Amino acid sequence: MSRKATVYDVAERAAVSIATVSRVLRQPDAVRPATRERVLDAVTALGYVPSGSARGLAERRTGVLGLYFPGFDAAEDAPPLDVLGDRSRPSFTVAEESTEPVPAPTMLFLDEVLRGAELEAWKQGFVLMIGVGRDDPTRETVRDIAGRVDGLMVLAQSVPDDVLARLAQRIPVVVLSGPSRGDDYDHVTVSNAEAMAELTRLVLAETRPGRLAFLAGPEDSPDGAQRWEGFAAALAEAGIPVEDVTVLRGDFTRASGRHAGEELVAAGSPSALIAANDQMALGAIDAFRSAGLRVPDDVRVTGFDGIEAAALARPGLTTVRQPMIDLGRAAVQLLARRLERPDAAPVTVRLPLQILLRESSHPRA
């Protein structure tokens, strides 16, 4: 085998310093175009591949950022797939034109956040490492990631406080979708309570008298708690006792929304259901439709998040759109800032929300 090209070979061929080569590969926009092209030509000609381990030893950094999710809205209905077990499958099949198409998976909340984090990490010259902690009560996944990255992004309350505090002693931490609780982490959050209160006011203004229901999120979810807070505030303004509302709890999945919808149907359908996220709202609509109820004629439904499936649903789901991609991008920006300025005061960035009124709660005339 021929000797592998090194960064010194690239620098010599391009007549630049090794620092300039590193800058071109990590932050190309920071280098003059002519110099950048000369370095990239040398990289191509020599077949140079940067060594992450060597760079990490030199800079005491890995060039990798971590993103940890609890995995609560993973595709629970995904069919099993065994690519090695059945090699006799046909190369194609033919179906009648009238056959109902299989819907393509839509982007969920965490998918969009991940997209934003990937985009910004690339722009900032980092690689992104993803960890999903579904069915991981000991949090071994997040500990493993933390040992391999320069900084870590976590969804609020997805990691126990004591575990997160120990990790933060070694690397910077950014918390997504949760306000500061007197900690020293950087936070990226949204105005959950304010937006849910306004959405509830809009629903109450146009909903006929009848039973109102609220489908809450998990008890340990900061987002869920803030959305309940906004809902309760709007009820108080309208003079509606919380005791007059049917409150159910789900885990932010579509399956839990279906189960809640079935419970509501069995007890006598409400006039309106306000759900703490889109997945649960769509699951409840599935249950209402199976029971022969019409949305919004028989029951009005709203969600929260603004995922793609909410816009594609029929009827379209009224919701609060989160800037999901920007949440991911902002978290990476805060980590990059923290790596450059480790002693800077912690900050909380609050991103704006948008209420989208659609047919599920506001039928068109």
Query: What digits encode the pLDDT tens for the residues 186-245?
Result: 999 999 999 999 999 999 998 776 789 999 999 988 899 999 999 999 999 999 999 999
- pLDDT of 76 reads 53
Q: Average pLDDT, stretch 266-280?
A: 94
The whole domain housing 333 covers 64-76+105-190+324-351
Look at residue 114 and tell me if it is in a domain: yes
* Residue % of the chain over a pLDDT of 70: 85
Do residues 254 and 279 share a domain? Answer: yes
Do residues 141 and 221 share a domain? Answer: no
Q: Average pLDDT, stretch 26-32?
A: 82
Q: Average pLDDT, stretch 344-355?
A: 94
278: which 2 tokens? Answer: 């889109």
Distances (CA, A) of 98 to 89, 94, 95, 161, 284: 23, 12, 8, 53, 28
Do residues 204 and 315 share a domain? Answer: yes
Query: What digits encode the pLDDT tens for the residues 309-325?
Result: 999 999 999 999 999 99
Do residues 229 and 300 share a domain? Answer: yes
pLDDT exceeds 60 at position 73: no
Do residues 196 and 297 share a domain? Answer: yes
Look at residue 307 and tell me if it is in a domain: yes
Look at residue 160 and tell me if it is in a domain: yes
As a dihedral over the C-alpha atoms of residue 57, residue 61, residue 64, residue 67, rounded to 10 degrees, the angle is 130
Inter-residue contact 282 to 313 (CB < 8 Å): yes
Do residues 41 and 138 share a domain? Answer: no
Do residues 175 and 231 share a domain? Answer: no
- pLDDT of 44 reads 86
pLDDT exceeds 60 at position 52: no
- pLDDT of 261 reads 97
Query: What digits encode the pLDDT tens for the residues 93-145?
Result: 776 655 444 444 456 888 899 999 999 998 888 899 988 776 665 667 788 88
Do residues 227 and 158 share a domain? Answer: no
- pLDDT of 156 reads 84
Do residues 226 and 305 share a domain? Answer: yes
Distances (CA, A) of 135 to 35, 68, 80, 112, 221: 49, 13, 18, 22, 17
Average per-residue pLDDT for the chain: 86
Please state the domain count of the chain.
3
Per-residue confidence at 183, pLDDT binned at 50, 70, 90? confident
Do residues 179 and 249 share a domain? Answer: no
Of residues 266 and 61, the one with the higher pLDDT is 266
- pLDDT of 196 reads 97
Q: Is 14 exposed, middle or buried (0-12, 13-18, 19+ CB in 10 A)?
A: buried
Do residues 298 and 337 share a domain? Answer: no
Whole-angstrom distance, CA of residue 151 vs CA of residue 127: 11
Do residues 310 and 333 share a domain? Answer: no
φ/ψ of residue 274, rounded to 5: -110, 120
pLDDT exceeds 50 at position 247: yes
Mean pLDDT is lowest, of 161-175, 185-199, 278-292, for 161-175
- pLDDT of 111 reads 86
